[in-house]
Amino acid sequence: MIYEIFHILILAGLVIAAALTFWFRDLLAAVLAAAFFSFLISLEFYILQAPDVAISQAAIGAGLSTAIFIIAIRATGRFEGGAP
């Protein structure tokens, strides 16, 4: 029972994190929401009995691609469509 509740919470969190990534106009917050999405999907991989895929997803999705996005934001602007 606790397993199903945890699983449903993670799936709901995935949808919410994806929607937040689309909704934020502050790109740094959007990148952090995408990193949270990657973290939740690595938990989902762990629940589905794929721990090595979960390690890769946590390292590359939540770590390296977030660093690449932050470097890109430092090189360009922080807000979508110019400063608010």
Stretch that binds other proteins, among 10-18, 22-30, 35-43, 49-57 (CB under 8 A): 49-57
3-state secondary structure the chain: CHHHHHHHHHHHHHHHHHHHHHHCCEHHHHHHHHHHHHHHHHHHHHHCCCHHHHHHHHHHHHHHHHHHHHHHHHHCCCECCCCC
74 sits near other proteins (criterion: CB under 8 A)? yes
When asked if residue 51 is in the footprint of other proteins (CB under 8 A), the reply is yes
> Cβ of residue 51: shortest distance to other proteins, in angstroms?
4
Find the shortest distance in angstroms from Cβ 66 to other proteins. Answer: 9
68, 78, 79, 80: which one binds other proteins (CB under 8 A): 68
Residues 6+ away with beta carbon under 8 Å from 61: 35, 38, 39, 41, 42
Tell me if 63 contacts other proteins by CB under 8 A: yes
Of 20 and 70, which has the nearer Cβ to other proteins? Answer: 70
